[in-house]
Chains A and B, each alone.
Chain A
């Protein structure tokens, strides 16, 4: 029964950790949305900025992946 309790805590922890991915989702959506609104205002300049779009998305996404990684570590490695 004690083991089950530990397991319960572990699963709750994993679930809480995955909330962090929501923050990354907000960040990525923010970047993509702002890029799109900027691109619609000035379509001629949009093509040159796609690299920066992906760099920004990558940075925001990395933090979400960190939280996913922590979840995986808790789930399988701890």
Chain B
């Protein structure tokens, strides 16, 4: 360290802290006030209103967007409801058509069934009638055979019997047998 710098160190130390050099205070205070007033003017005249306006505008835009999104959502919900309604209508219509077709088919089926039933009944009646005729003729033949057989048996035994008595007896026996 050369003596010269040593000298300046001593000189500076004589000054001490520059913060306590009161001769510079008016200068600092004056320029501080100037700087603060300048910043205050910049802020209140330009910066703060501008930023505040931008922020308010953004808030407004966001609120608008949210409202619009709300409206769109409502519209979408309405469209969804309409779609659901159309779907339900179509379904109901289809149901009706199905029911109608079913009913028609049932009707036709019923008619066909009735026809078939009638035919079957007619055929059954016919068969029964024929069967009855056959049975009647058969039973008449049986009676006849019985009567004759009875007469022949009586004749063979030599017993005398008039025809009406034999007929009545045979008829009663046949009736008993039938019962």
Query: When A and B assemble into the complex, do they touch directly, with CB atoms less than 8 Å apart?
Result: yes
Give the B-binding residues of A (Cβ under 8 A): 72-73, 76-77
Residues of A within 8 Å of B3, CB to CB, are none
Interface size of B by Cβ–Cβ distance < 8 Å?
A: 4
Name the distance in Å between A4's Cβ and chain B's nearest Cβ.
14
Query: Which residue on chain B has the smallest CB distance to residue A77?
Result: B16
Number of A-B contacts (CB under 8 A): 9
Task: Give Cα distance in the complex from A73 to B16, angstroms.
Answer: 8
Residues of B within 8 Å of A72, CB to CB, are 17
Q: Can you give 6 A-B contacts (C-beta < 8 A)?
A: A72-B17, A73-B17, A76-B17, A77-B16, A77-B17, A77-B20
Knowing that A73-B20, A76-B13, A76-B17 are A-B contacts, what are 6 other residue pairs whose CB atoms are under 8 Å apart, sorted by A's residue number?
A72-B17, A73-B17, A76-B16, A77-B16, A77-B17, A77-B20
Residues of B within 8 Å of A76, CB to CB, are 13, 16-17
Residues of B within 8 Å of A73, CB to CB, are 17, 20
Name the distance in Å between B15's Cβ and chain A's nearest Cβ.
8
Residues of A within 8 Å of B13, CB to CB, are 76
Task: Give Cα distance in the complex from A77 to B13, angstroms.
Answer: 8
Query: What string of 1s and 0s marks CB contacts (under 8 Å) between B150-174 and chain A?
Result: 0000000000000000000000000
Residues of A within 8 Å of B16, CB to CB, are 76-77
Name the distance in Å between B34's Cβ and chain A's nearest Cβ.
27
B1-53 residues with Cβ-Cβ distance < 8 A to A are 13, 16-17, 20
